Amino acid sequence: MSTLQHVCSAPLARAVRSRARALSISSAVSTSSPAKQASSVDSRVLLGLSEQELQKLATDFGQQSYRGKQLHHLLYKTKAKDIQDFSHLPQAFRDGLQEAGWRVGRSPVHRVVASADGTVKILLMLEDGRLIETVGIPVEHQKGSFRLTACVSSQVGCPLRCAFCATGKGGYSRNLQPHEIVEQVLAIEEIFKHRVTNVVFMGMGEPMLNLKSVLDAHRCLNKDIEIGQRMMTISTVGVPNTIRKLASHKLQSTLAISLHAPNQELREKIVPSAKAYPLDALMADCQDYFHETGRRVSYEYTLLAGVNDGVEHAAELAAMLHGFCRGSHVNLIPFNPIEGSEFRRPYKKAVLAFAAALESRKVTVSVRQTRGLDASAACGQLRNEFQKKPLQLSTPARELGPLLT
């Protein structure tokens, strides 16, 4: 992409300043967490804008509004990556956009790692040299239907440092901007040459610490890329005051709570941030979420051998869920090994016993099928060396060494 330049004419400058104010990205949700917003926010990115916003942008540049519809088609249907690829637009319009500092907002693919089961992990290199990971999970059903799930990241790294998760061990840098979330879905579609049918905000980072960008990306994925809201899931370990804020938007997407323990004492050992958000308060907010939205909350529970996988833990979990929620669903996730972790994956017998204990107490339960384990793309395994320290673009690829752990 050509070097971005400043606005070169007064009318154009006024137009761009107007758009920059209208499209500026607010800071992340305010919490006691050390999470930070990106040090510099570039609002002159086309990806993520709605058709109406693109029509307004076109008229700001002296074009007819239908040029905005063409821009929308080029971004979300043709999936062009560079403004000069917008061949249907007048050359003067394309040049004007670039001279004003506008860009599409697509990042180059740095590396692709494929698993034997068809799962693919993609590393995208962001403009600041940091890498994020996104995972494409294909499932082909016997009846011939095909589901492609995009597991997207919302932050570069994660500040919450859950004990069993690789991402937190790799450090934290910043929140992702909306287009940096949306482009992950487009990258997966490009690799698989197939439309993404489902999106889960379960990649690197805590979505609720970047709720504004997550909601903006959710809108784009739903309205512009046309993925149904019910085909999307937003996961969180729990951040105070954010579940109610999410409920106010009345999304039809699933809220998934990363629970991992049936009581406060054990949860604090597994999830350090739980100290600031007691389990009773979290469950009360989930109850309010159900009443506000009518959407059942799903609970993620990572099974750690000898830590939280006993039948007694299942009984305690069932009792807690019945005390707060109606129709709870628990998704059990056998621990996926990560380097340097003291935890172990439970035996299949223990997993089945835990599930049976929940079912006998009338709690709906499923066991997540492990995908992408050999590519370090399974749940809890996403981490790279350049979450905290940017990749030096001048370093030859052969000198980088292994990026993935």
Q: Which of 8, 133, 151, 190 is catalytic?
A: 133
| Strand partners for 300 | 258, 331
CA distance 63 to 207: 37
Which tokens sit at 333? 């996730």
Rounded to whole angstroms, the Cα distance separating 318 from 396 reads 53
Identify the CA nearest to 1 among candidates 134, 112, 107.
107
In whole angstroms, how far apart are CA 255 and each of 233, 258, 340, 379? 6, 10, 30, 17
What are the residue ranges of helices labelled H in 207-338?
Answer: 211-223, 242-247, 264-270, 279-293, 311-324
The answer to whether residues 231 and 265 touch, using CB atoms and an 8 Å cutoff, is no
CA dihedral 185→187→191→197, nearest 10 degrees, is 10
Q: Decide if 133 is catalytic.
A: yes
Is residue 325 annotated as a catalytic residue, yes or no? no
Helix (H) or strand (E) holding 333: strand 329-334
Q: Is the dihedral of CA 321, 327, 328, 329 positive or negative?
A: positive
Contact between 230 and 222 (Cβ < 8 Å)? no
Please enumerate in sequence order all residues whose Cβ is within 8 A of that of 92, keeping only pairs 6 or more positions apart, or say none.
none
199: left (phi over 0), alpha (psi -120 to 50) or beta: beta
CA-wise closest residue to 230 among 256, 208, 252: 252
**Nearest alpha carbon to residue 155 among 109, 201, 122, 120:** 201
Q: Which two tokens stand for residue 236?
A: 């969180």
Name the catalytic one among 127, 265, 379, 399.
Answer: 379
Q: Are strands 155-157 and 146-151 parallel, antiparallel or unpaired?
A: unpaired
CA distance 125 to 67: 30
Find how far residue 118's CA is from the centre of its chain: 20
The set of catalytic residues is 133, 379
